[in-house]
């Protein structure tokens, strides 16, 4: 399967992108947790075991699993010039400004001959004490701590949902909210520009060099012609405007309407997919805190390429989704049910962040037992995975996966 084909949240998943957590988690410290967007430091060995269990569940259900690190290594294997370009760009984007350190880090990375090892090292980060340097000739070197990270790790990479989003036959290659995470999008840039499975056959609806931030967790493919996008802590309305114009003005796009949901600007409502996710033709998991009247904006094509039409909708989530899907009745299954304490606890542990791999078949964290029991009661086939360590990054099975191909 070459290219991208994602026009739904629920149709059978055939191919998905993951990233197996690596040594980047070992470079988290209590002092860097906030900067690197974690609440605690996962135990790497167990996090990898949990992630491997996730991949096994997907493969057991006929989903092809590909890994970000493998695709990127395959790109670097194509041509030494691509590898050189990537390393130089990666170093600059990592905030290395002096010619001296750009050269030292380039030489250090370039001596890694195996490209997968190289890719994993770029994800892990680089400690100053790994580098060969003459500290007597530099004030910076003399005063730097021996444990200083000169290139920061990227521990959020196992949340592959956010750096780009599959939309129809194309992608939104995102400009992300934080500097920490925006560096992650370089891998998708190279994969979609150079990998033979994607080069020249994937439309780009948005680019990482655009001005406003948007993240994949805020983008849901409701139908072949309707997108839902969250206006959230991580996604700006300006980005949605720009994405809409690009989509509506491209004849290869099937999207006719975008529903922009204005959701609370807080970590608990980080992305739209932490608020609700589709799990069946007529069923959604939902954060209980979003069930009142909503402020939603319907965006359609304007009269010329520089315009869009925007219509404000104030209605309940049920009615908005019923209208978007063209069905009579939508069932909203509240995370934690009617138990407020369970709802808050399980929402914090991504109880409504489910990955649907076929209509009515979902992957969830096993720890959210109240929500999972409710889902089974509503007739869902619930596939559970362990998450004691994975959930420390505040993201569930949907966050940890980017569909590349779903059946039409």
pLDDT of residue 133: 59
**pLDDT band of 134, cuts 50, 70, 90:** low
215 shares a domain with 301: yes
**Strand pairing class (170-173; 164-167):** antiparallel
Q: Please compute the mean of the pLDDT values over residues 35-41 and round it to a whole number.
A: 84
Q: What is the CATH number of the domain that holds 259?
A: 3.75.10.10
Regarding whether 122 and 31 lie in a shared domain, the answer is: no
pLDDT surpassing 90 at residue 5: yes
One domain for residues 347 and 270: yes
Mean pLDDT over 351-362 rounds to 93
Query: Does 189 reside within a domain?
Result: yes
Give the residue numbers marked as catalytic: 399
pLDDT at residue 270 greater than cutoff 70: yes
Specify whether 83 is located in the same domain as 115: yes
Q: Are residue 258 and residue 171 in the same domain, yes or no?
A: yes
Q: State the pLDDT at residue 343.
A: 84
- Asked if the model's pLDDT at residue 212 lies above 70, the reply is yes
Beta carbons of 73 and 119 less than 8 angstroms apart: yes
The answer to whether residue 139 scores a pLDDT higher than 60 is no
Number of domains in the chain: 2
Whether residue 176 is found in the same domain as residue 316: yes
Q: pLDDT-based confidence at 179, cuts 50/70/90? A: confident
Asked whether residue 372 falls in the same domain as residue 261, the answer is: yes
Helices 68-78 and 115-124 cross at an angle (nearest 10°) of 130
In whole angstroms, what is the distance from residue 147 CA to residue 105 CA?
16
Closest CA to 387 of 53, 101, 12: 53
Assigned domain for 88 exists = yes
Instruction: Give CA–CA dist 345/357, Å, rounded.
Output: 25
Within a domain: residue 2? no
pLDDT band at 138 (very low <50, low <70, confident <90, very high): low
Q: Check which CATH number belongs to the domain holding 118 and give it.
A: 1.10.3930.10
Our CA dihedral for 68, 71, 75, 78, rounded to 10 degrees, sits at: 160
Same domain for 170 and 220, yes or no, is: yes
Domain final position from 132, 151, 170: 151
Whether the model pTM is above 0.85: yes
Expressed as residue numbers, the domain containing 128 is 71-151
**Given the DSSP bridges, would you call strands 226-231 and 257-262 parallel, antiparallel or unpaired?**
parallel
Position 379 scores a pLDDT of 96
- Compute the radius of gyration of the chain from its Cα atoms: 21
């Amino acid at each position: 399967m070459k290219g991208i084909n994602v026009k739904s949240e629920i149709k059978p998943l055939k191919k998905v992108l993951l990233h197996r957590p690596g040594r980047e988690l070992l470079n988290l410290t209590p002092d860097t947790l906030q900067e690197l967007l974690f609440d605690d430091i996962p135990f790497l060995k167990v996090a990898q075991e949990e992630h491997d269990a996730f991949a096994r569940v997907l493969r057991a259900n006929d989903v092809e699993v590909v890994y970000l690190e493998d695709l990127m290594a395959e790109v670097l294997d194509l041509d030494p010039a691509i590898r050189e370009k990537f390393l130089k760009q990666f170093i600059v984007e990592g905030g290395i400004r002096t010619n001296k350190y750009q050269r030292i880090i380039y030489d250090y990375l370039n001596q890694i001959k195996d490209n997968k090892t190289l890719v994993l090292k770029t994800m892990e980060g680089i400690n100053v004490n790994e580098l060969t340097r003459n500290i007597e000739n530099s004030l910076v070197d003399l005063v730097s701590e021996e444990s200083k990270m000169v290139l920061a790790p990227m521990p959020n990479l196992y949340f592959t949902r956010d750096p780009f989003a599959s939309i129809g036959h194309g992608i939104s290659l995102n400009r992300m909210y934080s500097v920490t995470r925006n560096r992650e999008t370089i891998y998708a840039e190279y994969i979609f520009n150079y990998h033979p499975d994607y080069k020249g056959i994937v439309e780009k609806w948005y680019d990482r060099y655009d001005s406003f931030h948007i993240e994949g967790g805020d983008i849901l493919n409701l139908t072949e012609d309707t997108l839902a996008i969250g206006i959230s802590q991580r996604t700006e309305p300006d980005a949605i405007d720009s994405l809409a114009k690009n989509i509506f003005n491209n004849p290869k796009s099937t999207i006719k309407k975008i529903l922009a949901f204005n959701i609370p600007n807080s970590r608990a409502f980080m992305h739209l997919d932490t608020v609700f996710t589709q799990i069946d033709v007529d069923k959604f998991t939902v954060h209980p805190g979003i069930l009142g009247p909503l402020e939603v904006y319907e965006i359609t094509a304007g009269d010329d390429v520089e315009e869009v039409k925007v219509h404000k909708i104030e209605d309940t989530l049920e009615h908005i989704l019923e209208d978007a899907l063209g069905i009579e009745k939508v069932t909203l299954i509240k995370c934690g049910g009617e138990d407020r304490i369970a709802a808050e606890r399980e929402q914090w542990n991504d109880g409504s962040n489910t990955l649907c791999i076929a209509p009515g078949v979902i992957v969830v964290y096993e720890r959210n037992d109240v929500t999972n029991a409710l889902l089974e009661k509503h007739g869902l086939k619930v596939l559970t995975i362990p998450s004691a360590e994975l959930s420390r990054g505040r993201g569930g099975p949907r966050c940890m996966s980017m569909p590349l191909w779903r059946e039409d």
